[in-house]
Structure 1
Amino acid sequence: MRVSSKREPPPAPQPLSPLVDAHTHLDACGARDADDVRVIVDRAAAVGVTAVVTIADDLAAARWATRAAEWDPRVYAAVALHPTRADALTDAARSEIEHLAGEPRVVAIGETGMDMYWPGRLEGCAEPAVQREAFAWHIDLAKRTGKPLMIHNRDADAEVLDVLRAEGAPDTVIFHCFSSGVDLARACVEAGWLVSLSGTVSFRNARELREAVPLIPPEQLLVETDAPFLTPHPYRGAPNEPYCLPYTARALAELIDLPAEELAEVTTGNARRTYGLAAGR
C-alpha cells in the first residue's frame, strides 16, 4: 500500500556511513520499475545507505521485490505473506513463495508473524488462528531455506513467543520494527535474536520501547526505515524513504550512548552477516 502525505518529505540528513536499511518497502514508496528503484537507492546512497532490503507483504509484492533485487545490486528482497493477509496463503501461494524464497537475492523470509491489533478493526484481516498457522509455515520455510526469519509483531508478544517455542525458532530470527518493552527485549537477548529498530525509537512517547532498547547488545541490533511508514522525529507524519535512515541511526546512538559512526559500523556488520550481503554492502 502506497502511503500519501500532505507533508513535504524530510530534508536529506547529514551522511552517516555505512548503513544498511534492514527493512523497507520500495514499492509502497512509489517505486514501480528499475528507474524508480535506482532513484530511491541513489538518494539513500548519497547519505551513506549502501544497501536496502525490500520486503513483501503479499504475493504480488513478493514477485515485485524479487524483481527489484535483480534491477539494482544495492537491493535485496524478503518474501512472505503479512500476518494480516494470512487468509491468502493457499497451496498455490505457498508453492510460489517457496520458489521465490530460493532466489539468491532473496535474503530473508518475511515479514511474517502475528498481529493482534488489526483483527476486528480491519475488514478482511486474518483471524489469529489463521495467522498462527501461516506463521508456523513460514518458520518451517525459513528452516528449509536456511534464511533468516523476519517477524512482524503488533500487540502480540505472547502469541509470537508461543509459536516460536512450539515450532522451534530457526537459526536466525529478526524482530522487525521492534516496539515492545523490557520483557520481550530480554527474551530476544537471551535467545540471540536480532532486534531491528525503526523511526519509533526516536518517538518521545514510545516510553516502553526506549526503556527496553538499552538492554539489547549492539551486536544484536539492526536499523531500518520500514519506509514509507514511521518517519523519525522531527518529521513524523511525513513520507519516509531509505535516505531517512541516518535520522533513526543517530537517535538510536544517542539513546544507547554510542557514537553514531560506531553504531553505523556495528549495525552494518550485523546486517551483512545476517543477510549474507556482498562485501561493501
Structure 2
Amino acid sequence: MSEFARTRNSYDGSEKAKRLYPALPEPLEVGTYDNHTHLEIADGDEPLSVAQHIEMMRQVNMLGAVQVGVTLESSKYSAELAAREPMLLAAVAIHPNEAPLYGSLKELDDAILEIADLAKLQRVRAVGETGLDYFRTQGDEALSMQQHSFEQHIAIAKEFDLALQIHDRDAHADVVATLLRVGAPERTVFHCYSGDLELAQICKENGWFLSFAGNVTFKKNQHLRDSLLAVDPSQLLIETDAPFLTPEPLRGRPNAPYLVPHTLRFIAALMQWSDNDLALQLNRNTENVYGSWAEGLS
C-alpha cells in the first residue's frame, strides 16, 4: 500500500452503518464537476466500482470529474481511465508524501519522467497532486526530495500548458515561495484549500484557484469559509477528494463524486447565491482550468 493510501485513511467508525456509502442526494438542476477525486481507492464495507460511481454521478446530474493520480501506478490508471470514460479527465503526479519513498533522487527523477510522458496525453489536463506536506513528511533529506519533486512537476505543467493541482499541508509559506520563485503555471489550483485569509489574499492577487472540499462544511473550519468569501467567485472550484472529507451531515462515511451536491448547496447558502447560479459559475471556472470534457476521447 502506498504512503498516500496508508496515511490518509481517516475513517474509524466501528458501526457498519457508518461505513456504507450515503444515499443519493437530490439531483442538481444545473449540474457541475468534481475537480479532484480518487476513484481507485476503494472504501467502505461495500466499495463502489468505477461504473457505479459514474452511474451515481449521472443520477444527481454531475457533469464530470477529474480523476487524480498520486503514484506512478495510479497516474497511469487515471490516464487510461480518462481516455475511455467521457465523464472523466485525468491529473497525474507523484504525491509529495510518495516522493521521499524513492530510494534515490535518480529513481524519483525516472518516475517523474514517466509522469511527463503521461502529461502529453489528450485527456490528461492537470499535473497533480503535487506540492509540499510538512504534516506527514519530516527530515531534511525527505523534505529536499519533496521540494525537488514539486519543482519538477511545476516545470511539467508549464511545458505542456496544463493546470497544476497543489497539495499544501502545513506548508503554506514554502508553497507560495516556490510558486513565486520558479513561476506558477497559468492555471494553478490549491486542491482541498486549507489556508487562512492571508493565503486566500495571496491567491486572489495571483489569480490562483481555491478548490473547496467537504471539510468547508465542518463546524471548526470557519477559516475556510472566511477564505471562500474573500476571493473572487471566478477563482472558486469544488471537489470531493473522495473517498476522503465527506461533507456534513455525512462525515465519517465514504465520500464520492455523487455527493458534491451537498457541498455545493452549503457553499451557495454561505455565499447567498442560488444553487443554479453557483453551479454555472463553477462550471465556467472548471472549464477554464481543464478545458472541455468532450475533447480527446479515444
Residue 127 of structure 1: how far off its partner (Å): 2.3
Residue of structure 1 in register with 2:174 after alignment: 159
Correspondence 1:236 to 2:254:
no
Residue of structure 1 equivalent to 2:80: 67
Letter in 1 for 2:21: P
CA RMSD after TM alignment: 2.0
| Distance in 1 between residues matched to 2:112 and 2:70, nearest whole Å | 14
Of 158-167 and 126-135, deviating more is 126-135
Task: Report whether the alignment pairs 1:76 with 2:89.
Answer: yes
User: Which one of the candidate residues 51, 64, 79 is aligned to 1:38?
Assistant: 51
TM-score, normalization by structure 1: 0.92
For 1:269 and 1:204, the matched residues in 2 are separated by 29
Please list every run of 5 or more consecutive structure 2 residues that lacks an aligned counterpart in the other structure: none
Note the C-alpha offset of 1:20: 0.3
Q: Hey, what does 2:286 align to over in structure 1?
A: 271
Equivalent position to 1:55, from 68, 86, 100: 68
Partner of 1:249: 264
Amino acid at match of 1:65: S
Q: Distance in 1 between matches of 2:83 and 2:202?
A: 36
**Which whole-Å CA distance do the structure 2 matches of 1:204 and 1:257 have between them?**
18
Query: What is aligned with 2:198?
Result: 183
TM-aligned CA deviation for residue 125 of structure 1: 11
- The Cα shift of 1:180 comes to 1.0
- The CA distance in 1 between the partners of 2:241 and 2:108, in whole Å, is 26
Q: 1:111·1:152 contact (CA, 8 Å) conserved in 2?
A: yes
User: Partner letter of residue 43 of structure 1?
Assistant: M
Q: In the TM superposition, what are the counterparts of 1:62-211 in structure 2 within 5 Å? A: 62-87=75-100, 88=102, 90-120=108-138, 127-211=142-226
- Work out the number of aligned pairs and report it: 273
CA distance in 2, matches of 1:234, 1:201: 12
Contact 1:98 1:141 in 2 (8 A): yes
Matched-pair contact (CA < 8 Å) for 2:86–2:294 = no
- The question of whether the paired residues in 2 share the 8 Å contact of 1:19 and 1:264 is answered with yes
Taking structure 1 as reference, are residues 19 and 78 closer, same or farther at Cα in structure 2, changes over 3 Å only? same
Identity between Structure 1 and Structure 2 (%): 38
Equivalents in 2 of 1:92, 1:181: separation in Å? 36
Instruction: Give the TM-score normalised by the residue count of structure 2.
Output: 0.87
Tell whether the 8 Å contact from 2:88 to 2:293 is kept in structure 1 after alignment. no
- Give the conservation status (yes or no) of the 8 Å contact 1:29–1:227: no
Off by >6 Å, runs of 4+ in structure 1: none
Give 1:18 shift: 1.4
> Is the CA contact (8 Å cut-off) linking 1:232 and 1:247 kept in structure 2?
yes
